[in-house]
Chain A
């Protein structure tokens, strides 16, 4: 398997623009996680899905953030409108079962000017 795939790898945008990050989990994995990593706050869980259903979105910072998982092989994290403080590396991870090892993608480095 190719592992978790994320796109784009780098995104530079201007404040106020919409940003969409994409993730393809490992085939057969039932859980999908979105994280944000910054120097100040470390690795933070934003939201996670089980069998395409959102389970916990308490880490989503505000209404500007939304995530969807329309099928087992694709998820998106959308920020609208984006702000400079959203600049971070966003990781997607997937796991086979609950409380199992999470496999991380390479991340998307987002810069909002």
Chain B
């Protein structure tokens, strides 16, 4: 069974204090790994897609990386507006290739 585990469950940072969120996965045939941001009372919002080990994507203060077993979301010099829950999801090859399995998320709080 496909599994996605995110850590830590919650992370509190001071503004400007860089850190990383982890998403480890156990799947048979990764087709893509997705990072989403979710603000309270809203639906998840797409951030990045990674397809193969070694791939990296960047957007403003966020950088996502992928290995064969895990993905990291690095946050450089975060600001209070980066506070949100960050979700990762995997899609696999095969019969249910359209189906995403989500992790439970990391709730990030950035204090000014």
Contact = CB atoms under 8 A, between A and B. Distances in A.
Contacts of B32: 99
Interface residues of B, number: 23
A13 interface: no
A102 B49 CA distance: 11
Given A42-B104, A42-B105, A99 B46 contact: no
Interface of A: 4, 31, 33, 42-45, 48, 50, 55-56, 91, 93, 95, 98-99, 101-107
Kindly list the 9 A-B residue pairs having the minimum CB-CB distance in the complex, ordered from nearest: A104-B43, A43-B102, A42-B104, A99-B91, A98-B98, A99-B31, A104-B44, A101-B46, A98-B97
Given A99-B97, A104-B44, 18 more contacts: A4-B43, A31-B98, A33-B100, A42-B102, A43-B105, A45-B101, A45-B102, A48-B99, A56-B99, A91-B44, A95-B98, A98-B97, A99-B32, A102-B46, A102-B100, A104-B43, A107-B41, A107-B42
